[in-house]
Structure 1
Amino acid sequence: MTADRLVLWRHGQTDWNVTSRFQGQADIPLNETGVAQAYAAAPVLAALAPSALWSSDLDRTQRTAAALAAETGLEVRLDHRLREIDVGSWQGLRGAEVGAADPEAYAALRRGEDVRRSATGETVSEVGERVAQALTEIAEAADDEATVVVTTHGLAGRAGLCRLLELPFAHWRAFGSLDNCAWAVLQRHHGGGYWRVAAYDVSVRETIS
């Protein structure tokens, strides 16, 4: 069994998103705008008739997923592999602060290299591997022709999507970031069995069929 459609949904806005802090796996809650975003998006996603709802175990994703659970009656299932990238000691810092504390690593990050986010953090490649593994298992556990919504994070969702599509690392930045509470849709090709991008960075200001 394999799902036909995976919807990767980024969590709603947090105060750290607004102030451009490295959030990583810090358990920062949604702010009022983030909660409103989640409840505005929920009916649109519910119209896709999802049969399963998964989430990272961090609070901001769980609360985003809870809006769709309230709309659909689905249980929110948790998987820690869907967490955002671990930024280690960069957590809570802004870009300029990271540049001052770790100028070589920050310069490499700005160049698009697969740099470790601080000595104790992760690389994008590592995040892509763990998220793609989770997505593969989630899809394979679903019924054929099912739609599954997976609530995750900006970088983690993008990196996991690219790894699932088996794209080279250098391509991951080309997708751009998912906005808060926006989503990407992956559709399984029936003939080849591979995944393709059907929609990207969709929000409540847009609709998909």
Structure 2
Amino acid sequence: MSRRIVCLRHGQTLWNVEQRFQGHSDIPLDETGVAQAARAASLLASLRPSMIVSSDLMRANDTALALGRLVGLDVAIDKDFRERGGGQWEGLTRAQIASRWPEEYAAWEAPDGEPVTDVAARVATAMRRWAGRVDDDGLLVVVSHGAALRLGICEMLGLPEQLWPAVGGLGNCSWSVLQEGRKGWRLLEHNAGTLPEPVRSDDKPEAEA
């Protein structure tokens, strides 16, 4: 065995349902999201995590705490696992964004928002940092956000930016699994935990198709 990272996206929020860009806005889980977190925790507990670390935003932290309570682990907090900052788009729906910023919407680049390359770098750097704290055969659970996790995974795999769209988005309380090998990290599972369903997150639209 070698180190593994479970990349778990947070449960559903009202803003997910309303298709609002959340970004750094601190939006809580809704009733469905709480139930999703409990279900994901019951499944992931069987993997016997070594460590759990979460974004500081409550939708991710509350999802992480559901697992932590079940397996008897504290949840560490790292702001580097926050969602991509949405600048002027935060709180707006997809329709509002497309209407006001058609060119930026097509490129999925929010005014005053965080570049995707910056997000990928900070999330992947944090993943490597925390993975270095677990044993060689340990399991790290990172609880974060849709766009942040997808971009971080792409960076961990060493994919060039032009291939990032080939990796699809994550549904609420779905997860991906990375494993460290002799030649770097590889993807064992992606968007696991649910039957295929629409992905609603802050990620670019084509990542959610």
Q: Partner of 2:143 in structure 1?
A: 151
SS in 2 for 1:9: strand
Aligned counterpart in structure 2 of residue 134 of structure 1, from 126, 138, 152: 126
In structure 2, stretches of 5+ residues that fail to align are 197-209
- Structure 1 residue 205 displacement after superposition: 5.8
SS in 1 for 2:132: helix
Letter of the aligned partner of 1:136 in structure 2?
R
**Distance of 1:171 and 1:23 partners within structure 2:** 25
Alignment of 1:164-179 (within 5 A): 164-179=156-171
Letter of the aligned partner of 1:57 in structure 2?
D
**Distance of 1:54 and 1:203 partners within structure 2:** 19
Letter of the aligned partner of 1:147 in structure 2?
L
In structure 1, stretches of 5+ residues that fail to align are 110-114
**Distance of 1:26 and 1:143 partners within structure 2:** 34
RMSD: 1.4
SS in 2 for 1:44: helix
SS in 2 for 1:97: helix
Q: Partner of 1:195 in structure 2?
A: 185
**Distance of 2:35 and 2:169 partners within structure 1:** 20
Q: Partner of 1:26 in structure 2?
A: 25
SS in 1 for 2:83: coil
Identity %: 47
SS in 1 for 2:187: strand
Number of residue pairs matched? Answer: 195
Alignment of 1:25-104 (within 5 A): 25-104=24-103
Dislocated runs of 4+, deviation >3 Å: none
SS in 1 for 2:48: coil
Q: Partner of 2:172 in structure 1?
A: 180
Q: TM-score, normalising length from structure 2? A: 0.90
Letter of the aligned partner of 2:133 in structure 1?
A
- Structure 1 residue 108 displacement after superposition: 2.2
Q: Partner of 2:201 in structure 1?
A: none
Does structure 2 conserve the Cα–Cα contact (< 8 Å) formed by 1:139 and 1:148? Answer: yes
SS in 2 for 1:198: strand
SS in 2 for 1:68: helix
**Distance of 1:78 and 1:44 partners within structure 2:** 22
Q: Partner of 1:112 in structure 2?
A: none
